[in-house]
A = this chain, B = another copy of it.
Amino acid sequence: MKVSKFGGSSLADGHQLQCVFDIIKADDTRKVIVVSAPGKRFKDDTKVTDLLLTYAKATIEDTDATDIIETIKDRYHAIGNHFDLPAYELADIDEQIDHLARKHYRSFDYLFAAFAAHGEYLNAQLIAKVFTHLGVPARFVDPKEIGLRVDDNARSATFDTKSYNTIAELDLSTSERLIVPGFFGYTENGDIATFSRGGSDITGAIMARGLSADLYENFTDVSAIYAVNPSIIENPAAIKQMTYDEMRELSYAGFAVFHDEAIIPAIQGGIRINIKNTNDPEAPGTFIVPPTEVQQTRPVTGIANSNRFSALYLHRYLLNKEVGFTLRILEILKKHNISYEHMPSGIDDLTIIFDKTLLTQEQVDGMLEDIAATIKPDTLKWLPSYGIIMVVGEGMRNRIGALTDIVTPLKEHGISLQMVNQGASEISIMLGIQPDLAERAVKAIYDNIFKMV
């Protein structure tokens, strides 16, 4: 049995959904289908999730939402009409869209979560109707029905692993395909809470593990995961297979193909993952598998880069003589509800690296003010934009000289680094770099390593 998850671009319109239908129909073992909300149909299109968030805002502000509601309905209608779905089936979807604004929510956060989740919630219902209509019986499965429980973090929820027991009870002996909306679960109080954006991958992984699937297929719009971003290197090497940990490190540093939290249930359940292309389903795609299944041939599997970081640099003599020095800094971070990513230190220096997408200017200002007042550093610098490159490969475990192959081409190209962090993870080397140099650096490293092989 396979769990097959389809992303927003694979479900953007009727034409795409036809491809999905063909894929499902072709293989009876594709039993559980996890779906995203309809994504972009063209470059400047708006995703249904974003339309729903605009609708949510209008609801809170009590402004006229007629236009946005129509736009949302049109998206679902266009898909339904592509398959000549009867009008009453679409009326049921419309009714739920209208009803969203009239429900009671525990807080604005839960309101936003519920509106956003309806992108998937309604799409899963619609897809079940379409498939049945096309002659492949399908049933919508509400995450509530299978006890998909999450914590109280309304818009960045964490999955409760106890739910695996209830998910495992789902009856798979039926001839119906089971259509599960991705991206959200229910809190103990029965409210909808969503994972972070892109979180349908997480639902897919949870279902695959809960049901002990033989394979978790993750359908998207690329035929493989490439060793480097194709916008930097033309026709880069495709990755045929990699380990869970490699995928996790690459996702973290910018490989957006697969959500970095979605790997955890797969690791824990030993579920093999196959990234595939909805528009090229015959291509083998990329397999993400346990380390024992991989025959490594190259030292480096992939090179990722991301500019989503900021950094704080702090200097004070004798800073690490003091027991509890970093503790005081972390207490300041906690006070402002700031999470940090990495904290490389020298003798008298400390650099703290943050994910800037998780920070507001207010948090940054408050943190810097408190650090200046409490810690009294000699130097305190804030770098609003900080690039990170991650060179990842199981082949680097214990491999002597991996770092040489990375820094030598940078020297040759006159590119300087702000930070090098090797050693905490055995399968990756992390480089800190000025964001405007990152792409040149990735290119230099790629050319050196992938030409060597």
Residue positions of A touching B, CB distance < 8 A: 158, 248-249, 252, 260-261, 264, 267, 317-318, 320-324, 326-327, 330-331, 333-334, 337-351, 398-401, 403-404, 407-408, 410-411, 414-425, 428-430, 432
Contact = CB atoms under 8 A, between A and B. Distances in A.
A444 to B, nearest CB: 12
A407 B401 contact: yes
Contacts of A411: 400-401, 404
Contacts of A320: 339-342
A380 to B, nearest CB: 14
A271 to B, nearest CB: 15
A348 B400 contact: no
A429 B337 CA distance: 32
B401 A404 contact: no
B346 A343 contact: no
Given A249-B347, A326-B343, 17 more contacts: A158-B321, A264-B317, A320-B339, A321-B339, A322-B339, A323-B333, A323-B334, A323-B339, A330-B330, A341-B345, A346-B430, A400-B410, A401-B407, A404-B404, A418-B423, A419-B423, A420-B422
Contacts of A249: 346-347
A410 B323 CA distance: 34
Contacts of A330: 324, 326-327, 330
Given A323-B337, A339-B323, A403-B407, A248 B423 contact: no
Contacts of A248: 347-348
A249 B348 CA distance: 9
Contacts of A428: 346
A171 B252 CA distance: 64
Given A321-B261, A327-B334, A347-B249, A422 B423 contact: no
23 contacts: A252-B347, A320-B341, A322-B339, A323-B338, A326-B343, A327-B333, A343-B343, A343-B345, A345-B421, A346-B424, A346-B425, A347-B425, A400-B410, A400-B416, A401-B411, A404-B410, A419-B422, A419-B423, A420-B421, A420-B422, A420-B429, A421-B421, A421-B423
Nearest to A432: B423
A414 B400 contact: yes
Oligomer: number of copies = 2
Contacts of A421: 344-346, 420-421, 423
A36 to B, nearest CB: 22
A404 B343 CA distance: 23
Nearest to A405: B411
Given A318-B264, A331-B327, A423 B347 contact: no
B416 A349 contact: no
Q: Which of A422, A423, A430 has the most CB of B within 10 A?
A: A423
Contacts of A158: 321
A106 to B, nearest CB: 22
A417 B422 contact: yes
A107 B389 CA distance: 54
A418 B324 CA distance: 26
A317 B267 contact: yes
A239 to B, nearest CB: 18
Given A400-B416, A403-B417, A404-B407, A424 B324 contact: no
Contacts of A331: 327
A348 to B, nearest CB: 7
Nearest to A342: B345
A424 B321 contact: no
Contacts of A340: 320, 326
Given A327-B327, A410-B400, A350 B415 contact: no
Nearest to A428: B346
A355 B335 CA distance: 30
Q: Which of A338, A346, A416 has the most CB of B within 10 A?
A: A346
A117 to B, nearest CB: 21
A416 B347 CA distance: 23
Contacts of A339: 320-323
Contacts of A400: 410-411, 414-416
Nearest to A260: B347
Contacts of A321: 158, 261, 339
Nearest to A419: B423
